[in-house]
Chain A
Amino acid sequence: MSSSSFGSINTALTALYAQRRGLDVTGQNIANVNTEGYSRQRVDMQSLTGSISPAMFAKTAGVGAGVGITDVQRMHDEFLEGRARNEHATAAYLTDQSATYKSIEDTFGEPADTALQAQLGDMWNAWNDVANNPQDKATRSTLLEQSATVAGGLNSAHTALAGQWQQNRTQVAAYVTDVNTTADTVAQLNDTIVRATSGGLPVNELEDRRDQAVMHLSELTGATASRRDNGVVDVIVGNSTLVSAFTTRKMELAGAVSMDTLATDPLTLRWADTKTPVAAGGTMGSMMDTMTAVIPHLSAALDAIAGKLITTVNTAHAAGFSADGSTGLNFFGGATAADITVAITDPDQVATSSGPATLDGMVATAMADVGTSTTGPDVDYRAMIGQLGVSAQASNQRGDIQATVTQQVDAARVATSGVNLDEEMTHMLTFQRGFEAASRVLTTVDSMLDQLINRTGLVGN
C-alpha cells in the first residue's frame, strides 16, 4: 500500500482549479443579475477516482485523485419555457385586442352629448321643428345643417375605422419583416450551437439568446418550439414550421392595402413558398383578426345603419312635396357611411307635406317619428355601441386575467433560472473557503516534503 508523494499536490491543484472555476461562474451570475433572459449557471463538480484498472505495479490507494468540473449547467426548465411561450402569446394577443377596442371606443366617443347618437337626436328634432312650422324656411335650413352634421359624423367614423385598419396593416407588414429576421437569427444560433457543442464549447449564453429570440417570435406570432436531441430548436407557427434546424421559411402579407378593397381582395398573412395562410396567434394574430373581422364587422354595421337612415329618409322624402312644389327628390345621397351626403342644398326643396300646395307637414312628422321608432337607425346604432362595449369589456377582462397567469408563469420561470444574490454570496464564500483550504493542503504537503527532503537523514550532521 503506497501512494505517490506528489499525488496529493495534484489533488490540491485540481481543487484550486475547481474552486476558481466555481468563483468564475458565480462572478458571471452576479454580473448578469439584471440581464433580461439570462439563466443562472452552476458548476457540476465531480470527485476524480484514481486508476480503476489494476495492473501489477499500478494500483490505487483507494483515495480519489481530486475534483473535476464536469459541466457548467444552465439552470433552466424547458417545460416552463414552453408554457411561458404559450402564455406570452395569449397575453400579446389580448393586449393588442384591448388596445384595438379602446381606440375604436375612442372613435365613437359614446356615451356623450355630442357624439353620433346626439347628432341623430338633433336631426330628428330639426324634422320636428319643420313639422311644426313647414312654412318657415329657417327651420328647413337648420334641418339641412343638422343632417349634414349626421352625414359628416358617419363619414368621419368610417374614415377613423379605415385609418385604424391602415395602421394595423402597416404594423403587420413591419412585423412580418421582424419575424423573418428573427427566424433567421434562430436558425443561425441553431447552427452555432450545434458546432460549439460538437467542439465541446459551452453554449449556455447562446441558448439564452436563442430562447429570447423564440419568445419574441411567440409574442409576435404565437409560435411554439420543440427541441431536438442535438440541441437545435424548431419553431412552429400554427401547424407549419417557421424554423427547421438551420433553415427558415418566409412569411409575407398579401392582399388589400385599404379597408375599402377588402371585399374584393382579401388580406392574408401567408407562407411565401406555399402561399398557404399562416395560422398566427400573438400580436400579429390579433392584428389579422382586427383587420379581417373586428373592424370590417363594425364598418359593415355602420354602413347598415347609414343605409337604413338613407333608405328610410329618402323613401319618405321622395313621396313628399316641398315648398317649391318639387317631389320625388332624395334627401340623402350615397349608400354607406363612407359616402353619405345631404343631397338637398336648397331649403325650399325639403319635402314637408303629403301633397302639393299644402302645409300639412305630414312628411316631416313621419320623419320625426323615425327617431323614436323601435326599428329605426338609432336603435341599431345603440345596439352596435352596446355590442362594441361588450366585446371590449370581454377582451379587457380576459387580458387582465391573462396578465396574472403570465406573471405567475414568469415567476415560476425566474424562480428556476433567475439569479439570487444571497445564494451567489453564499457560493462565493464557499468557493473562497474551498480555495483557501486547498491552498492549505498544498502548503501542508509542501512542508511534509520539506521535512522529508531537507530534514530527513541528517542524523549526526
Chain B
Amino acid sequence: MGVGRVTESNITSGVMSNLQRSLARGQKIQQQLSSGKLISRPSDSPTGTVASMQLRGESRATQQYSRNADDGLGWLGTLDSTLTSTSTLINEARDLAVQGLSSGSSTPGGNAAMADQVDQIKAGIIAYANTQYLNRPVFGGTTTGATAYDDNGTYLGDAGQTMRTVGANAKVRVDTTGPEAFGTGTTQLFQVLTDISANLRSGDSAALGDSLKNLDTASDLMKNAHSSIGARYNRVTQMKQSAQDRLLSVTEQLSDVEDIDLPKTIMDMQLQQTSYQAALAASAKVIQPSLIDFLR
C-alpha cells in the first residue's frame, strides 16, 4: 500500500490486535506456570504428547513389573526356605539310615525306633511339601487344590508352571513342581523314606544300602531344584532393581517432555508483562492527540 492513508480505525484495530496478541501470549504463559506443564493439549506439541503418553504407559507397566517381581519373590522365597528346612530333615533321615546300616539287624527294637523316626521325618517333609503361598500349594504346579501331596506322599498337583512377567518380554518361572523337587518313581523322596522305614524294620541291610543310594539321588535332585530356585530368585531381584531404575529414568524423561522450565517461564512472563505494559502506555499516547486539540 506504500505510504497510504492512516485512519483512526487503522490505529485502533492495529493497537487492539497487538494488545490481544500480547494478552494471548500472557495467558499461555500463565497457564504453563499455574499447571507446571508445557503440554496441556495435543496441539501444544503432537510429538511431545505421543511421547508423554508412551512414557506414562511405560511408567505404569514398569510399576506393574515391580509388583509382579515382588509377588514372584514371595513364591521363590517360600520355596527357598521350605527346601532349606527339608534338606535338614533329609540329612537326619540319612543319619538314621546309616546308623541302621552299621548296627545291622542286631537291635530290632532300636531299628523299629529309628523306623518310627524316619516315618516322622517323612510326615514332616510332606507337610513342608504342602507349604502354601497365598492359599496355593507352592509345589503343586497350577493345581486348584489346596495340597500338593497326600499323606502317603502321592503327588496331587500337575506339571503346570507359574510364570511372572518381570520386564518387557521377560517372564520368569517362580515355582517348582513336586516331582522336580522330590523326584519320581523309586527315587521319589517319600517312596525312599517309606522304603528306609520298611527296611529298618525288616533289618534288610542290602535293601537299606540301596535305599540309602536312592536317598542320595533324591537329595541331589532337591539340591539341584534348590540351586535353580536360588538362581531365579537372583534374576527376579535384578529385574526388580532394573524396573525401579527404569521407573526413575522414565519419570525423568516424562518431566523433560512435559514440565516447564520454571526460571525460563518466569522470565518469559516478566518480559511479556513488560511488553504488555509498554504497549498499553503507547496506545494511550498514540490515540490521544488529534487536530481538534489544536484548533480554536
Contacts and interface: CB of A to CB of B under 8 A. Distances in A.
Contact of B49 (A359, A386, A412): A386
B71 A110 contact: no
Contacts of A392: 41-43, 46
B295 interface: yes
B164 A419 contact: no
A121 B142 contact: no
Contacts of B207: none
23 contacts: A105-B43, A111-B49, A117-B53, A121-B60, A128-B67, A128-B68, A129-B67, A132-B67, A133-B71, A133-B134, A135-B144, A358-B143, A358-B144, A371-B61, A372-B168, A385-B42, A387-B46, A388-B42, A389-B50, A418-B10, A419-B8, A421-B290, A426-B291
Interface stretch (A17-25, A231-239, A360-368): A360-368
A389 B42 contact: yes
Contacts of A368: 64, 165
Interface stretch (B155-163, B231-239, B240-248): B155-163
Interface string B33-71: 000000101111111011011101100110110011001
Contacts of A122: 60
A389 B53 CA distance: 13
Interface string A399-418: 00001000100111011101
A101 interface: yes
Interface residues of A, number: 64
A343 interface: no
B17 A135 contact: no
A387 B143 CA distance: 48
A121 B158 contact: no
B6 interface: yes
A412 B7 CA distance: 10
Contacts of B144: 135, 357-359
B50 A386 contact: yes
Given A129-B67, A371-B57, A407-B14, 19 more contacts: A34-B9, A105-B41, A118-B60, A121-B57, A124-B61, A131-B165, A132-B164, A357-B143, A358-B143, A359-B143, A359-B162, A360-B160, A365-B171, A368-B64, A368-B165, A385-B53, A393-B45, A418-B7, A420-B5
A411 B10 contact: yes
A382 B50 contact: yes
The 10 residue pairs across chains A and B that have the minimum distance between CB atoms: A389-B42, A389-B46, A418-B7, A392-B43, A121-B60, A360-B142, A386-B50, A422-B291, A425-B291, A393-B43
Contacts of B1: 411-412, 415
Given A360-B162, A421-B291, A353 B7 contact: no
